[in-house]
């Protein structure tokens, strides 16, 4: 079968048609992908921002149909439609039992299992997935069944970007109605965060992006204001009377914008960091300001979501026309064009490219 392989850092992905799968083991499921979104984290694996190891089949935002299940799998069966969760939700580990399944302890095990076979060697999928492939094997814990009438070509975005962004707004930040929000970065995750803020009832939602076309997009999805970074101080003064925002969300992954996000939150407000920077990059805070401004600084992993509950919440919002997924798909492509999709993302030209198999 066909898959896009990262052979070494900073190289173009190799589109191979000789990729196989290992035999299905206990607790595993074999998924045939219908679609996969292209997330910035895939690009970050390619350039080494996110350490993934190579070779690796990239892609971690997908939806498809179960082909076969391994011994002991009783939650899904062949023919079921699923969205893939790049973090398993095993329901057994301490994190899952505490109600923080987005931090499931099985994540490391899933990420290091190598279920593809290329040239006789076992190869891992990114985050234990590998959705830039026609088929893949993942633990049962990493799939969430959806109704058969859900269009799988649209909902793959829920598997990462949409859950991450909406969840950062409604779960991690817990945005209250009638508040002010600023979102740094209006890509797939940022647009989802803007939609989350709109759904939560924020009064003002300010989008910040360096690309002009993204600012226009942001307004279509619910931003009340959309500005380049250099124009934020003026809008912040106007919207918050200089106080700063109730909530500030970073959806870029850059130390400078992480710092700017913290600065944009008001005293006692909340700054949520969703973007992923390099392990070696550092953000500085003075030893005085943390206490004095009493801001809540929160990381957000996978939108602080319980995917078994929250995917369904998102699907119900989508069914009622309250969450726009179709509008987030800028391009529908074939897996052969994934390098072009990476370049379009780097150039700021797309919210999401979606691979159709
Ligand atoms: N926390 C999580 O669980 C999680 C999950 C998925 C993705 N992410 C991370 O979220 C981030 C965003 O992902 P995405 O898929 O939306 O990426 P994207 O490339 O689609 O969007 C990033 C946006 O930021 C803008 N931007 C870049 N640098 C900027 C700057 N200096 N000032 C203003 N705007 C700037 C770009 O123009 C673009 O619109 C990435 O770091 C990704 O790795 C985190
Ligand atoms: Zn992602
Ligand atoms: Zn778990």
pLDDT digits (tens, 9 = 90+) for 110-130: 999 999 999 999 999 999 999
- Counted domains in the chain: 2
Residue 11: the pLDDT is 98
**Residue 101 shares a structural domain with residue 116:** yes
Residues 90 and 189 in one domain: no
pLDDT tens series, the chain, 357 aa: 999 999 999 999 999 999 999 999 999 999 999 999 999 999 999 999 999 999 999 999 999 999 999 999 999 999 999 999 999 999 999 999 999 999 999 999 999 999 999 999 999 999 999 999 999 999 999 999 999 999 999 999 999 999 999 999 999 999 999 999 999 999 999 999 999 999 999 999 999 999 999 999 999 999 999 999 999 999 999 999 999 999 999 999 999 999 999 999 999 999 999 999 999 999 999 999 999 999 999 999 999 999 999 999 999 999 999 999 999 999 999 999 999 999 999 999 999 999 999
- Within a 10 A sphere around the Cβ of 287, how many other Cβ atoms? 7
Task: Clarify whether residues 8 and 154 are in a common domain.
Answer: yes
Ligand 1 center to residue 287 CA distance, Å?
Answer: 28
The beta-strand segments (E) located in the chain are 3-6, 14-16, 19-21, 28-37, 56-57, 62-69, 81-84, 116-118, 121-125, 135-139, 143-146, 180-184, 204-208, 225-227, 245-250, 265-273, 296-299, 329-333, 352-356
Question: Does residue 121 lie within any of the structural domains?
Answer: yes
Query: What's the 190 CA to ligand 1 centre distance in angstroms?
Result: 7
**CATH assignment of the domain containing 25:** 3.90.180.10
Query: Given ligand 1 and candidates 36, 37, 40, which is best to mutate, with the most ligand atoms within 8 Å of its CB?
Result: 40
Ligand 1 neighbours, Cβ below 6 Å, are 39-41, 44, 160-161, 164, 185-190, 208-211, 214, 229, 251-254, 257, 274-276, 300-302, 345, 348
What residue numbers bound the domain in which 17 lies?
A: 3-159+324-356
What pLDDT does 3 receive? 98
pLDDT of residue 232: 98
The pTM assigned to this predicted structure is 0.98
């Amino acid at each position: 079968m066909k898959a896009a392989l990262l052979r070494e850092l900073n190289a173009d992905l190799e589109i191979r048609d000789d990729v196989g799968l290992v035999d299905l083991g206990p607790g595993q499921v074999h998924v045939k992908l219908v679609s996969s979104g292209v997330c910035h984290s895939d690009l970050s694996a390619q350039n080494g921002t996110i350490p993934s190891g190579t070779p690796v089949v990239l892609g971690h935002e997908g939806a498809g149909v179960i082909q076969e299940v391994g011994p002991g799998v009783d939650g899904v069966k062949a023919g079921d439609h699923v969205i893939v969760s790049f973090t398993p939700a095993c329901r057994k580990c301490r994190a899952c039992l505490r109600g923080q399944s987005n931090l499931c302890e099985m994540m490391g095990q899933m990420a290091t299992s190598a279920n593809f076979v290329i040239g006789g060697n076992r190869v891992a999928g990114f985050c234990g997935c590998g959705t830039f492939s026609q088929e893949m094997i993942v633990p049962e814990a990493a799939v969430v069944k959806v109704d058969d009438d859900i269009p799988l070509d649209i909902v793959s975005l829920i598997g990462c970007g949409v859950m991450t962004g909406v969840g950062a707004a409604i779960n991690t930040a817990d945005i209250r109605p009638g508040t002010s929000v600023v979102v740094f970065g209006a890509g797939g995750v940022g647009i989802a965060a803007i939609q989350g803020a709109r759904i939560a009832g924020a009064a003002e939602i300010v989008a910040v992006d360096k690309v002009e076309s993204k600012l226009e997009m942001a307004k279509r999805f619910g931003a009340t204001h959309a500005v380049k970074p250099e124009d934020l101080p003026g809008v912040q003064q106007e919207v918050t009377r200089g106080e700063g925002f109730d909530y500030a969300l970073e959806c870029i992954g850059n130390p400078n914008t992480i710092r700017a996000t913290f600065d944009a939150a008001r005293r006692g407000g909340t700054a949520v960091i969703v973007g992923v920077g390099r392990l070696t990059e550092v953000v500085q805070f003075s030893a005085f300001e943390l206490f004095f401004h009493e801001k809540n600084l929160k990381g957000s992993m996978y939108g602080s979501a319980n995917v078994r509950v929250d995917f369904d919440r998102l699907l119900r919002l989508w069914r009622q026309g309250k969450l726009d997924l179709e509008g987030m798909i800028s391009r529908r492509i074939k897996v052969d064009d994934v390098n072009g999709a990476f370049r379009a993302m780097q150039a700021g030209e797309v919210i999401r490219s979606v691979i159709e198999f």
